Chain A
Amino acid sequence: MDPFLLEALLNGILLGGVFALPVLGCNLVFGVVDVVWLCYAELVMVGMYGVWFLHTQQGWPLYLAFAAALPLVSALGVLLHLLVVRPLLGAPPINQLLATGGVLFLLQGGAMLVFGTDFRSLGVELPPMEWQDVFISGTKLAAFCAALVGAGALWAFLKFTYVGIAIRAIARDREVMPLMGVDPRRVYVVASAVGGALAGLAACLLVVQLDVHPFIGLSFGPITFMICVMGGLGNMLGGFLAAFLMGVIVSTGSFWWNTEMSYVIAFGFFIVVIFARPRGLFAR
């Protein structure tokens, strides 16, 4: 195989790993609370700024900055839920979506006010790996592995803890939950915290690969939602697989054409998928 195409394919898989975390986070929140956080990518942005600020401005070691980003964004997720989503739980669902769209502007503008519009770089880079003419960025590979670990941790949480199982249950039938002694409102908060933590983890993995700026959310937010819908909103496994599919489409698309066209193809593919399978590629 053409080594460059192979490289594009591998990069696509690595990219899929990065898409996977926000997709899982979005799906988790949607599955439980039934609200799409339109500002999800902006939560990731806040985490990226957090890591950048703590590491380069405050001189924290990188691992401490990473460790701080998770609870920071997790708390932001809880705050978003309590202040914006919870008061709207009885409102038409679309109002919740639009309110989180307001938070998107708020965080974007807030980032501009605090950090300006400059591109901020963490300036860390692992050496690339080479294997038979195929070069893979060490940083991307490390981020990919961390994403898999994060997804694995989420899987274990959902599979083995009482709250995790309740989260999977509530996604299917929320009215019946109180009969089991489950207060759905508390599960919502937990899901928001976990969804936020996943955004925080995604932030750590992205900030080592990309410069952070106030509009960065717009560059991967839309595709995150597309992937969620493609996999089936609330369907964690579907979203996880769709993330890799989209990663490969975007990556090989840029190999054959250019970055914008690769996204056009990816979004076009998304629309076709929705028309072919309105409840997602992996809907049962």
Chain B
Amino acid sequence: MRAEEPALVLEGVRAGYGDFQALFDVGLRVSPGEAVGVVGPNGAGKTTLLRVISGMVRPRSGTARFGEIDIATTPPHALPASGIAHVPENRRLFPHLTVEENLRVGAYIPAARKRFAERADYVYRLFPKMAQRRHQLAGTMSGGEQQMCAIGRALMCSPRILLLDEPSAGLAPLVVAQVFELVKRIRDEGLTVLIVEQNVAQVLRVVDRAYVLDAGRVVAEGASAELAADPAIRNSFLGGH
């Protein structure tokens, strides 16, 4: 682990699209080395929250900082260089590029280009399947493999925090378990992870803490074990899904 790892801190963030406000005074903190989950029903604002952190959506008010960096005023394309990597909803791979080319796009920033071979090795060790399929078009792989490729692409820029948006979406239960296993490994290697999920039961097993988001507001937060045991949470989120 690097000496001074930055923390991600959001305070009073409001954000939305046009007339629609998706987030109301959201506060969140992810300390270095932590794995944090954000759970909540569909439309709770989870994706918007991640998009604020990776600069895709500008907060209307409040602050969003990653260490010394003010996310709200940094252009989005400059954020990967400061250590924020975002695996977006639906993976958004480049289906017409090979696995390796997808990794190359992930290593676009100058610092990452220099370390491409080293990082690619790391990703291929993490996901041996990707090594076998390095010259295959990403769009021809299975959903689980594509998710691994998307995570690998995000890891190419040596991030200090990894944002994962619904990594289990659209995957078969067995594959979901594999993906969460990988997330766990990544996190055990010391990378800070912020993961957004609807699959509450699964995600609470791999994160240290979690926030519960509902209708754009944080309605609960706590250690995973506590949340998993909380009857209110169980009823509204775990039971229903």
A179 adjacent to B113 (CB under 8 Å): no
Assembled-state Cα–Cα distance A175/B104 (Å)? 17
In this complex, how many residues of chain A approach chain B with their Cβ under 8 Å: the count is: 17
Residue in A180, A183, A184 whose CB lies within 8 Å of B105: A180
Residue in A165, A168, A181 whose CB lies within 8 Å of B78: A181
Residue in B77, B88, B92, B94 whose CB lies within 8 Å of A183: B77
Q: How far in angstroms is the closest Cβ of chain A from B174?
A: 28
Interface string of A143-182 (1 = CB under 8 A from B): 0000000000000000000100110110011011111111
- Residues on A with C-beta less than 8 A from B96 are 168, 172
B77 adjacent to A178 (CB under 8 Å): yes
- Residues on B with C-beta less than 8 A from A172 are 94-96
- Which of A165, A168, A175, A180 counts the most chain B CB atoms within 10 A? A180
With A165-B101, A165-B105 already in contact, the answer to whether A181 and B94 are too (CB < 8 A) is no
B92 adjacent to A165 (CB under 8 Å): no
Assembled-state Cα–Cα distance A226/B206 (Å)? 55
- Residues on B with C-beta less than 8 A from A179 are 54, 56, 76, 80, 85-86, 88, 92, 154
Q: How far in angstroms is the closest Cβ of chain A from B4?
A: 22
Q: From A183, which residue of chain B is reached at the shortest CB distance?
A: B77
Please tell me if B30 contacts chain A, counting CB pairs below 8 Å: no
Assembled-state Cα–Cα distance A166/B80 (Å)? 15
B88 adjacent to A162 (CB under 8 Å): no
Please tell me if B75 contacts chain A, counting CB pairs below 8 Å: yes
With A173-B92, A176-B92 already in contact, the answer to whether A182 and B97 are too (CB < 8 A) is no
Pair count A-B, CB < 8 A? 67
Assembled-state Cα–Cα distance A38/B108 (Å)? 31
Assembled-state Cα–Cα distance A178/B54 (Å)? 9
Please tell me if B169 contacts chain A, counting CB pairs below 8 Å: no
- Which of B56, B79, B92 counts the most chain A CB atoms within 10 A? B92
With A162-B107, A178-B56, A180-B153 already in contact, the answer to whether A168 and B76 are too (CB < 8 A) is no
- Residues on B with C-beta less than 8 A from A162 are 104-105, 107-108, 113
Q: From A186, which residue of chain B is reached at the shortest CB distance?
A: B77
- Residues on B with C-beta less than 8 A from A180 are 80, 105-106, 108-109, 153, 157
Task: Report A's interface with B, CB cutoff 8 A.
Answer: 162, 165-166, 168-169, 172-173, 175-184
In the A-B complex, the 4 residue pairs with the smallest Cβ-Cβ separation, listed nearest first, are A181-B80, A181-B109, A178-B76, A178-B77
- Beyond contacts A168-B97, A178-B77, A180-B106: 19 other A-B pairs, Cβ-Cβ < 8 A, are A165-B97, A165-B104, A169-B105, A172-B95, A176-B88, A178-B54, A178-B55, A178-B75, A179-B54, A179-B56, A179-B80, A179-B88, A179-B92, A180-B80, A180-B108, A180-B153, A181-B78, A181-B80, A183-B77
> Can you show 30 pairs from A to B with CB atoms below 8 A apart?
A162-B105, A162-B107, A162-B113, A165-B97, A165-B105, A168-B96, A169-B105, A172-B94, A172-B96, A173-B94, A175-B56, A176-B88, A178-B55, A178-B79, A179-B76, A179-B85, A179-B86, A179-B88, A179-B92, A180-B80, A180-B108, A180-B153, A180-B157, A181-B78, A181-B79, A181-B108, A181-B109, A182-B105, A183-B77, A184-B77
Task: Report B's interface with A, CB cutoff 8 A.
Answer: 54-56, 75-81, 85-86, 88, 92, 94-97, 101-102, 104-109, 112-113, 153-154, 157
